[in-house]
Amino acid sequence: MTQKIRFTKMHGCGNDYIYINTMEYAVPDPTTAAIAWSDRHKGIGSDGLVLIGKSSIPEADFSMHIYNADGSEAMMCGNASRCIGKYLFERGLAEKTEIRLLTLSGIKTLSLHINNNKVESVTVDMGEPKTEDESLFITSRGLNQGTFVSMGNPHYVIFTADVDQVSEIGRMLEHHPAFPQRCNIEFARIEENGHIRTRVWERGSGITQACGTGACATAVAAVIAKQHTRRVEVVMDGGTLEIEWREKDNHVYMTGPAEFVFDGDIEWSKL
pLDDT the model gives residue 134: 44
- Structural fold of domain 146-250: Diaminopimelate Epimerase; Chain A, domain 1 (3.10.310)
Output the CA angle 126-77-66, nearest 5 degrees: 135
- Structural fold of domain 3-124+256-268: Diaminopimelate Epimerase; Chain A, domain 1 (3.10.310)
Q: What are residue 33's phi and psi, to 5 degrees? A: -65, -45
Q: Shortest CA distance to 8 belongs to which of 217, 270, 259? A: 259
Asked if the domains at 3-124+256-268 and 146-250 fall in one CATH topology, the answer is yes
Sort residue 42 into left (φ over 0), alpha (ψ -120 to 50) or beta: alpha
What type of residue is 216? C
Q: Per-residue DSSP letters for 108-169?
A: EEEEEEEETTEEEEEEEE----B-TTTT----STTPPPEEEEESSSEEEEEE-S-GGGHHHH
Whole-prediction pTM value?
Answer: 0.91
Q: Per-residue DSSP letters for 216-252?
A: HHHHHHHHHTTSS-SEEEEEETTEEEEEEE-TTT--E
CB atoms within 10 A of CB 119: 22
Q: Is 35 helix (H, G, I), strand (E, B) or coil?
A: helix
Exposed, middle or buried: residue 16 (CB in 10 Å: 0-12, 13-18, 19+)?
buried
pLDDT the model gives residue 145: 82
pLDDT the model gives residue 218: 98
pLDDT the model gives residue 271: 46
Say how far apart CA 190 and CA 238 lie, in whole Å.
18
What are the residue ranges in the chain where pLDDT is below 50? Answer: 134-135, 271
Say how far apart CA 162 and CA 171 lie, in whole Å.
17
- Partner residues linked to 270 by β-bridges: none
Say how far apart CA 29 and CA 40 lie, in whole Å.
20
- Partner residues linked to 138 by β-bridges: none
22 sits in which H/E element: none
**CB within 8 Å of 118: residues ≥ 6 apart:** 90
Question: Where in the chain are the domains?
Answer: 3-124+256-268, 146-250
Enzyme catalytic residues? 77, 211
134 sits in which H/E element: none
108 sits in which H/E element: strand 106-115
Q: Note the pLDDT tens digit of each residue in 63-74.
A: 999 999 999 999
